[in-house]
Each structure stands twice: as structure tokens, then as C-alpha cells.
Amino acid sequence: MPYNQVMFDRKQTRQISIGDDRTGRVLVGGGAGVSVQTMTSGYTWNIDECVAEINRMTEAGADVVRVAVPQKKDTEALPEILAQTKVPIVADVHFHYKRALEAVEAGIHKIRLNPGNINDRDQVNAVIDACRDRGIPIRVGVNEGSIIERKDKQQRAEELGRFFADRRQGHLLALMIAKLEEYMEIFEAKDFHDVCISAKSMDARLVIDIYTEIAARFDYPLHLGVTHAGPKETGAIRSVVALGTLLANGIGDTIRISYASDPVHEVEDGLEMLYSLGLRTRRGAELIACPTCGRIQVDLFTLVQEVRKKLANEIELPIKVAVMGCVVNGPGEAEGADVAVFAGDRRGIIYVQGERVANVKEDEILDALLDECRRFQDRVRNGEVTLGEKKVEIVPPDPIGELGSGAEKIAAGQVEQVTIEGN
């Protein structure tokens, strides 16, 4: 797995292993890199569609994929699904502990149990025994929406809330921790420690609080997530705020970003968050682009999206590619990128590691930029150049002067006077 080693002072936890010799093993905790998980959105019993979805997630970069098994026909489908997929698979079990036993028998790589709806001690013990015999880890997943005892939830929440009276939603925080501690006593009594734990909410601040508290109380690896976060447009913000904060503070061993949309987006955004934090080695191009302003004179929005799609399909190495719309930030980004273009007056100037290589018309920018990216990738693979190596210094035009700045300078042709110093 393309993990970086520890970049932050991360909390040291126990380590579990998910997978087998065929899929490879994903290590979680114990100093291993942060892995990315997601979950299928279709019915598990629909084998062909389930396999296709898992494979699509795998191609996007998912390390582990979870499937729901609410019915016996779901667990009956698992052997065929496992035979056709290339990543460790987790069975998500709710209400019926026998689904967990059936999944174990089918060869599943990990079980997820919810203390909110599978809490009979004998049933939990049966699952523990089955997993121990097969060397299968278990995630204990506490969710805000499922852990409150229905009969006395108000009284219990108020009683527990006194322990965290100074915290937002302190009663819920205390209740989730109490439920987790109560559940973990079953595992510890059985001397079973091949466990990962999670405690999710849709409230980003509560997620930060509860994982911080859990990290102080347990040494089990932590699965981070914001549950029912909503559509991608808002769920991305909630998830990155909470998970990014925790990871930057050294908390968390594996993550799932949850959206009410295509799960592939969960994988893509989870990976990008880890890339941004330096917790994962980037796979594929790193695209940066200016936010646009009144200085641009090309259709930058369209260009950036077209470049993004093309790079995703054609570039495998972590080449830094910059698409900039004017001469203000363009030269600097071109200097810092492996391949870059900055545009103006319906033209684009293309640079490779700071060296100017082309000046093309607007309708030629996309093809010319991609050609340079492909050529650069080949040169890296052949050992001719190194990623991130700057060849020359770019001296941009002065943005302040008698010609003014932005559109005026571009219109006056000043963009054509960019000079190159060096080899």
C-alpha cells in the first residue's frame, strides 16, 4: 500500500490486519499509514452489481470496502463477491448476529458490530469466538442515532451528561462513551483485542470531542467518520473539518468519508485529505488552479475541468500541474510546478519545471498541456528528470506600472515579455 510513514506525532495504538493472502493485508493502527474505506450503496445479494461497484471503488483507490448484510441472501452472496474482488471486504451487521456468523463462515475479512442493536452478551460472545477462530478483526461502531436506550433515554442522557456538562451536547458525548466502554468490557472479558472502534455523529464538533475522549481511554485503532453527513456539497465540509482536525492532532488510523451520493467520491475526497496532510503518498497528478478573477481572459473554469478529467485517466505519477489564468500568480506557480500553463489574451504559455516550452492559442492549451504532461511522465520513468526539481527561475512582469495590471497588461502584450533566466 502506498502509505507514507508518520508525519504527525500520532497516537500509538494496537494494530489489526484486514484481508488475506489473495487481497493483500491492510494494516490499521500500530504506526501503519491511514487507510481509506467506503461502503457499497447497492444490495449485496445483487452479486454482479455489487462486484462492479466494489471494483470501481478499488480503482478509485479504496483500501477496504464495507457491504451491508441485513438478509441471509446477502451473506449467501459473499463467497462469489469475495472471489471476484481485490480488496478486503467488511460485513456490516445490524440486529441479527447470525448474519455475522454467516459472514465469517463465508470468508469475510472483518465484521462490524453496532452496540446499539446487537448487545446481547451471549450473541456478541458467539461472534467473538467465530472471529477468533478465523483470525478476523471486529469493528465496534457506535453511532449517535442508534445507541440511546429507547425506554429511559432522556433520564440516562441527563445523568451521564453531568460528566461533560461544559461540552456541547455533553449528555450525548457521555452516553456514547458509556455505551462503548460497556460493550468493550465483553471483548476484554473474552481476552479478544483484535478490535477497531468508532463513535460517529453528524455533528463535526461532537465527532472531534468524542474521538479525542476515546483516544485518551483506549489503545485500540480508531476508525474515523462523520455519519449521515449529507450530500457531497455539505458532507465534504463536515467530514474534512472533523477528520482533518483529528488526523492533524495525531488521532485516527483509518477513515471513511460518508456522502449521500456516489461512494467513489468518498474515496477520492478521503485520499485528497490524506494527501493534503502528508499522510499518504499521492497517486496521480496534483492539479492546482487559480480561483479566477477579473484578470483572466480565457475560459479557465472549463479548461481546469477538462484538464482534471484527462489527467485522472492518463497520468499515474504525482506530477504537480498548475493551470493559472493570469501573470500575477501564474509565473510563481509555473516555477513551482512540474508542468504549468498560465494564460492571457486568449493564449497560454506552458512551462516544464520552470522552463518555457510553448506559447499556444487558447484552443490549443488543453492538448499542448497534456502532451507535456505525458512527455514529462515518460522522462520521470526513464530517470531523465526528478519530480519537483526546478530548472530555471521565472522573472514575471512587474504587476504595477504605467501599463497597470491584469487585463490591461495582458491586452498590451506584456505577457509576451516574460523572461527566463538560467539554463
Choose among 383, 391, 339: nearest CA to 365: 339
Q: In what order do the strands lie in the sheet with 64-68?
A: 195-200, 138-143, 110-113, 89-93, 64-68, 35-39, 254-256, 223-225
Grid cell 526546478 is found at 390
What's the grid cell of residue 376?
Answer: 514529462
10 Å CB burial of residue 52 (0-12, 13-18, 19+) is middle
Query: Which part of the chain is CATH 3.20.20.20?
Result: 15-276
Choose among 308, 139, 311: nearest CA to 221: 139
Output the 3-class SS for 203-217. Answer: CHHHHHHHHHHHHHH
Taking only the tens of pLDDT, the chain with its 423 residues reads 333 444 458 899 999 999 999 999 999 999 999 999 999 999 999 999 999 999 999 999 999 999 999 999 999 999 999 999 999 999 999 989 999 999 999 999 999 999 888 889 999 999 999 999 999 999 999 888 776 655 666 676 677 767 777 776 777 888 888 889 989 999 999 999 999 999 998 899 999 999 999 999 999 999 999 988 788 989 899 999 999 999 999 999 999 999 988 999 999 999 999 999 999 999 899 998 887 777 777 788 888 899 999 999 899 999 999 998 876 666 776 677 999 998 777 788 898 998 889 989 888 999 999 999 999 999 999 999 999 887 655 555 444 344 344 445 445 555 444 333 333
What is the Cα–Cα distance from 17 to 63, expressed in whole angstroms? 12
What is the Cα–Cα distance from 127 to 198, expressed in whole angstroms? 18
Grid cell 471503488 is found at 57
pLDDT digits (tens, 9 = 90+) for 118-131: 889 999 999 999 99
* H-helix or E-strand spanning residue 198: strand 195-200
Give residues with Cβ within 8 angstroms of 374, minimum separation 6: 314, 315
What is the Cα–Cα distance from 197 to 193, expressed in whole angstroms? 11
Any idea what the Cα angle at residue 211 is, between residues 68 and 280, rounded to 5°? 75
Q: What is the pLDDT of residue 326?
A: 74
Any idea what the Cα angle at residue 319 is, between residues 313 and 323, rounded to 5°? 85
308-311 — which CB contacts under 8 Å span 24+ positions? 310/366, 310/370, 311/284, 311/285, 311/287, 311/370, 311/373
Question: Could you say which of 3.30.413.10, 3.40.50.2300, 2.60.40.10, 1.10.3860.10 is the CATH number of the domain covering 286-421?
Answer: 3.30.413.10
Choose among 145, 30, 44: nearest CA to 89: 44
Q: Residue 60 is which amino acid?
A: A
pLDDT digits (tens, 9 = 90+) for 1-43: 333 444 458 899 999 999 999 999 999 999 999 999 999 999 9
The values of phi and psi at residue 387, to 5°, are: -55, 135
What's the grid cell of residue 129?
Answer: 469466538
Count of all residues that appear for the chain in the document: 423
What is the Cα–Cα distance from 360 to 60, expressed in whole angstroms? 33
Choose among 211, 223, 208, 201: nearest CA to 63: 223
Say what the alpha-carbon torsion angle 151, 154, 159, 161 is, to the nearest 10 degrees.
130
Question: Any bridge partners for residue 143, and if so which?
Answer: 200
What is the Cα–Cα distance from 346 to 19, expressed in whole angstroms? 52
CB 53 within 8 A of CB 40: yes
Question: Any bridge partners for residue 196, and if so which?
Answer: 139
CATH 3.20.20.20 fits 15-276, yes or no: yes
> Which of helix, strand or coil describes residue 135?
coil
**CA distances (Å), origin 322, targets 236, 254, 319, 328:** 23, 30, 10, 14
First to last CA, the chain: 38
Query: Which part of the chain is CATH 3.30.413.10?
Result: 286-421
What's the grid cell of residue 214?
Answer: 476515546
Whole-structure pTM value: 0.84
Q: Residue 407 is which amino acid?
A: A
What is the Cα–Cα distance from 222 to 243, expressed in whole angstroms? 11
Q: What is the pLDDT of residue 146?
A: 74
What is the Cα–Cα distance from 405 to 420, expressed in whole angstroms? 20
